[in-house]
Each structure stands twice: as C-alpha cells, then as structure tokens.
Structure 1
Amino acid sequence: MFRVGSRTVSVYMRAAQSRSLATHATTRAATRHDWTRQEIRAIYDSPLLDLVFRSAAVHREHHDPTKIQLCTLMNIKTGGCTEDCSYCSQSSRYSTPTKASRLLDIEPVLAAARKAKENGSTRFCMGAAWRDLAGRKRGFEKILEMVREVRGMGMEVCTTLGMLSPEQAKQLKLAGLTAYNHNLDTSREFYPEVITTRSYDERLDTISNVRDAGISVCSGGILGLGESDDDRVGLIWEVSRMAEHPESFPVNALVPIKGTPLEDNEPVKYETLLRTIATSRIVLPSTIIRLAAGRQELDEVKQAMCFMAGANAVFTGESMLTTPCSGWDEDKGMMRRWGLEGLESFSQTIDEIDGIDK
C-alpha cells in the first residue's frame, strides 16, 4: 500500500533507513576513483527502473534517505560579467533582461540569510557575477565579512565568485567558508562549445585551490546545453577521478533565457535528468547530489523520483540567481507529504560518522 502523504510512506522510509544503518558497513563496496568512461556509460544506459533501483540502494548505504538539505542561493552582485558562458544572462556580451548592478551591502545579505534560516534553509549560498576577484580588494573584504556573519548564524556558507587564487581561497577558509561552488558545466570535449573565455583546466585549478585551502568543493553541471549522453557521462567521469570527490554535485537543467545564445534550446528530457542523478549517485556515493536549476518545472512525483534515485539537496527560496526557484512553503509542504525532513547544518553523512575516507 502506498498513499502520498500518508504515514505509510514515512514508516517505510524509516524502516529502510534502519536496515541500511544496520548493514551498510559490511555490504557496500569502497568508493572508487578509477571509474572508466565505459563503465559509467554502461551504468547510464542501463534500463531506467533498474538504474534507479540500484542508485536508491547505494544512496541508502551512504546517506539517510529521509533527509534533504534545503539551500538558498542569493545573487549578491548581478550581471556585467566578462565571460561568454552561452547559457548565462549575466554576461555583458548578451542583451538580456538581466541588468548589471553593484555588489550589495552587507546588511541586506544578512537579512536574506536570516530569513532563509527561519524558513528551514541550512546552507546559504552567495553568488557574484565575476570572472575572478582581480582588482576587487574592497569587494572581497566585504564578502569575507558576509561569510563571517552568516557562519556566525550557525549556517553553512557557500560562495561562487569565479576563479580563485590559492591565497583568496585561504582567506575564505579563515573567514569560515564551508563550501565553494565552481561547476565544470559539461565534459571537457563539449566545453569549448559553451564557453571560450575560460578553459576547462582553469576551472580545475580553482577547484584544486579550494580543496587545498580545506574548503569543501561543490562542482556539477548543466543539462540541456546541446550536449550528448557521452558528454553527461564525461562530466561525471571527470569529477569521479578527483582525489577527493566533490562534497556536492549540482545537477542543473538549463533554463533558456531570452538574449543568450541558448535561448531556443529545447528543455532537457526528464529521463535524461533522472539518469544523470542516478548515475552520479552510484559513481559518487558519498557526495550530496543537488537538484538545482530547472527544478520548478518538475511536478511533485518527478521530484520524489529524483530523491529516490539519490538527490538529497535542493535550492529553495525566492529565486536562484537569475532563474525561478520553488518557494520555502511549497517545498516544506512537499517534503511533509513524502515523509522527508530537512538536513541540519554541518550534518555528517554515514561515511563521515564511520570515519571512511571518501
């Protein structure tokens, strides 16, 4: 028997969690960093229900399946970016509805963080539309203060500010930054079709600087850029080879924006989104998989299937940079109906509790 919103769902999920906690240490395979592209492609191409069943089992071995982290993303500096990312309305190269603005003052950002915390978000993310921080000493100092203040609220803090030097990463770490987002976006092969102003290796260098500073890495991709299945597999393969898998892997579905080169792209198929989430969960078992941009286009049942397949974080709130976002009340209602609960700030995964190096 399965009734949406009924006690049956919650009881079933908690029973599955208990069984997983009791047996995971002796039944799961070690996290791998030597996946081949062929192996990942075979997983991606497997029958969809079999794929979701397998990914759900992996998810329950490494995570509490009843927990979803609520994250809120705020644009603290909009537009005027010199990069040519073909999906982004914040590029100064395109004529879009997004207008450039200065870096926000500290207090409005802190007010937004307090509101997010009151509504159940446990990670507050701040994004600035910059290529890098060169020549932005005063702005960077202001951001460091934002990081300190938000961390003082007891929240996890994430920023996405473009490319970072080793020294800038260290300063963010000292200020209390929890995680840094720097997406690879797609495979190495398809990347030049999307962006020409920053190389793939430059992105990897920033990720290395962040990790070397002791900050968690948040790095994923965007589906619907015109890429192939091989490119989606290539993205997962790229992060799987890292010495330490990203702490979180955002899976974004392109939201086409008028004025960008990709404004006429067709929406990514739901099957593709689900396959990417499930494959990522199997290959990156300890990583938090973030259901990110484009989620508002999914109905509740489709989102629940993504959670079943291994997604365990969402962005929620008033907006997500320049694209729509599901609101807190809507998300809390959905989670209640499906027997899900919010993940607390700085919560540990099962692997971390056991002291297993991912």
Structure 2
Amino acid sequence: MTTLLDTLVDKALRREHPTREEALAVLSGDDELLDIVAAGSRVRRHFFGRRVKLNTIINMKSGMCPEDCTYCSQRLGSGSEILKYSWISPEDAARTADQAVRAGAKRVCLVASGRGPGERDITRIENTIAAIREDNPQVEVCVCLGLLGAGHAERLASAGAHAYSHNLNTSEARYSEICSTHTFADRVDTLRRATEAGLSPCSGAIFGMGESDEDVVDLALALRELDPDSVPVNFLIPFQGTPLEGRWELTPDRCLRILAVFRFFFPDVEVRLAGGREIHLRGMQPLALHLANSIFLGDYLTSEGQPGADDRQMIADAGFTIEGVDEPTLPEARHDLVAIRRRGAGTDLPANA
C-alpha cells in the first residue's frame, strides 16, 4: 500500500511539491518522526548526495536598526545586550572571510542591519567584495542589506556578489503581527529586484514565533512562487529584550517536521539549517543533516553558534562530507527543466492550454 510519505518522495523526485493537505499531515504528528526524516533523506540524497555546504555570516554593522521586527535583537527599541557597532572595514571583513574559507566555508554572507542600503553602503559592500575576492576569488559572496532600491541589485551583481538574501520570515497573513515598519510585499519586491539583476535569490523563514501549521505551509507556497536557489530555515532565538523573549515553544520534533516539509517543497534547492539549530535541535542536530544540505558555520548575527570544529566533527560523525568549492551545489538536472516551446502560436501544433 502506498503511504503518504511514499507519495511525497515520489512527487519530490519528480520536482512536484506537496498539496496543502499532504504538508499539513506531515506537520500534524500522525507519522513517526524517524519515518518522516527517512523519507526526506531519500529526497536529499537523490539531489545532493551526502554533501553538506558550509556558509558563514559576517555582521558588517550590528544593532541600531530602525525597523521593529519583533524577533530581532537589533530592532528599534531592543533591550538585548548585543554588540553594537558601525561598519567594519573591508579589510576586517576579508580577514574574517579568509578564516571561514580555510575552515571549509563555501559561501560568505555579508549582512548589515538597517531598513535598506544607501549609496555609501553599497560602495562599502562593493569594496568589501573586492577585498574578499583578492585572496579568495572562488568563494560565493551573498549580501543581505534589507530592502533594495532602484539600481542597488545591479551594482551588487556588477561588484561580484553571487546571491542576495532576504527572508520572508513568516506567512503574509500574519506578517503585520511580526513587523509594522515594512510589509510582506516589500520583501517580495526586494527578492524580485535581486533576481531580475541576476543575483541568486536566497529567502527563507523563522519558525517558533507562534505560527500555525497553516502559516508554515502558506509560507512555503509563497517561497515557491519566488523560486529561490537557497532557503534558510531559522528557529527563533528568543533574545531577552525583544517582544518574543518568552517564546520557547519549539521542540526537536517540531523543527525536524518543518525541515522535512521544506525538503519536500524544495527537493532540488539548497535548504540551509540556520539560526537557532543548536538550542532547539540540541542532540538531534545530526538528524537534521539528513534533511538540510547546507548549514551556517560558526556564529550568527548577534548570537554565538556551535564551534566550527564541533560542526565539522558532527558532519563527519553523521556520515556526511563537506562540499568542496569546485562542486556545484544545485544539481545539474535543474537545467533540464528548460524546454524550448515548439507548439502553439507560430506553429502548426495546438497550444498546451
């Protein structure tokens, strides 16, 4: 008899995403967790083998953000005792990037707090990309600066940025509960600007903010519409001094079910295990590697992560290998999805409608 999980695996291997009902069933808890992880692992291994891509974050400018995102320790009015500083120099960023690359990182993510960059900020990032690439020309550089204005994405692409990251974070229906200073549509617009400029789109979510199963699925469907190349899955770090400081509702079971749903929705896309994995997955982090093919190495924006040596040991102990800089992350088969139209207008064959 074909089970729900068999159906989800078969669909994912054909690059078809789950129905709403199928995804909700995975989240509901009816199937055993290990069966769900095993099913998601079949999909992960099919497209990515046993490779794990390592990424690192460089916080270029910390704190003092004018936005009021309730999950963020850098938000307007935050009482979190985080590091606060203005822009670090390109040379400092390049040294940090070099250390991460030597530790196995394939992607360096340059992040700065704020609503969005000004012209001087773009120039700073351009100079930083140049400094990083001087010693590490092969490294992927991802940029995350908030909402992009006209021409910003094009400048970043010309400077050598590989990707632009801007998470949707939660479902559109409840976005106003999480942030009032910008909208869900603003975030979608920025991702589209980045994609149109030729930057690889990176967009994901933060879970543990009180979202329902329906919110999880709604967000996955919204992200599918944007066709990202990488999807970071964050689990809320409830910083003291933020409105969500008391949110400790996640369990390892819940985190793994969410990761499985995202693997089924994004079978051939880089699903990245991101912030909060250490405190919410705890000893079950190795199981998450059977679902996610990418993780952050080292520290996050304002919190410390697991030591890099421990991450590398965890990857090896779980039977995985670190992805080399010369290996493509996304499977080559993605390019097979492009089919030249040979029917409909301009031909003698009927349209596919």
TM bucket (normalised to shorter chain) is: 0.7 to 0.9
TM-score normalised by structure 2 residue count: 0.86
Could you tell me which residue of structure 2 aligns to residue 164 of structure 1? 148
1:329 aligns with 2:309: yes
CA contact 1:44–1:233 (8 Å) conserved in 2: no
- Structure-2 separation of matches of 1:353 and 1:31: 11
* Aligned with 2:21 (options 33, 38, 53): 38
What does 1:136-215 align with in structure 2 at a 5 Å threshold?
136-152=118-134, 153=136, 154-215=138-199
CA contact 1:70–1:314 (8 Å) conserved in 2: yes
Could you tell me which residue of structure 1 aligns to residue 231 of structure 2? 249
Aligned CA distance change for structure 1 residues 333 and 299 (closer, same or farther; 3 Å): farther
CA contact 1:173–1:215 (8 Å) conserved in 2: yes
What does 1:164-313 align with in structure 2 at a 5 Å threshold?
164-242=148-226, 245-297=227-279, 301-308=283-290, 310-313=291-294
Aligned CA distance change for structure 1 residues 32 and 210 (closer, same or farther; 3 Å): farther
What does 1:21-36 align with in structure 2 at a 5 Å threshold?
29-32=13-16, 36=19
- Structure-1 separation of matches of 2:127 and 2:203: 24
Opposite residue 200 of structure 1, the aligned amino acid is F
Report the count of equivalent residues: 325
CA contact 1:130–1:162 (8 Å) conserved in 2: yes
Could you tell me which residue of structure 1 aligns to residue 48 of structure 2? 63
- Structure-2 separation of matches of 1:72 and 1:87: 21
CA contact 2:53–2:294 (8 Å) conserved in 1: yes
Deviation track 1:60-79 (CA, whole Å, cap 9, x = no partner) reads 22112x21111110111011
Aligned CA distance change for structure 1 residues 287 and 105 (closer, same or farther; 3 Å): same
CA contact 2:122–2:156 (8 Å) conserved in 1: no
Aligned CA distance change for structure 1 residues 346 and 234 (closer, same or farther; 3 Å): farther
CA contact 2:44–2:293 (8 Å) conserved in 1: no
In structure 2, runs of 5+ residues without a counterpart are 1-9, 339-353
C-alpha displacement of 1:232: 1.2
CA contact 1:131–1:163 (8 Å) conserved in 2: yes
Could you tell me which residue of structure 2 aligns to residue 53 of structure 1? 38
* Aligned with 1:347 (options 315, 327, 332): 327
Aligned CA distance change for structure 1 residues 132 and 299 (closer, same or farther; 3 Å): closer
C-alpha displacement of 1:349: 4.4
Aligned CA distance change for structure 1 residues 121 and 350 (closer, same or farther; 3 Å): closer
Q: What is the RMSD of the two structures over their aligned residues, measured on CA atoms?
A: 2.1
Aligned CA distance change for structure 1 residues 99 and 116 (closer, same or farther; 3 Å): closer
C-alpha displacement of 1:112: 0.3
In structure 1, runs of 5+ residues without a counterpart are 1-25
Aligned CA distance change for structure 1 residues 213 and 223 (closer, same or farther; 3 Å): same
- Structure-1 separation of matches of 2:288 and 2:228: 19
CA contact 2:43–2:267 (8 Å) conserved in 1: yes
CA contact 1:251–1:291 (8 Å) conserved in 2: yes
Secondary structure at the counterpart of residue 311 of structure 2: helix
CA contact 2:269–2:330 (8 Å) conserved in 1: no
* Aligned with 2:85 (options 93, 98, 101): 101
Deviation track 1:10-46 (CA, whole Å, cap 9, x = no partner) reads xxxxxxxxxxxxxxxx99743247x653343234335
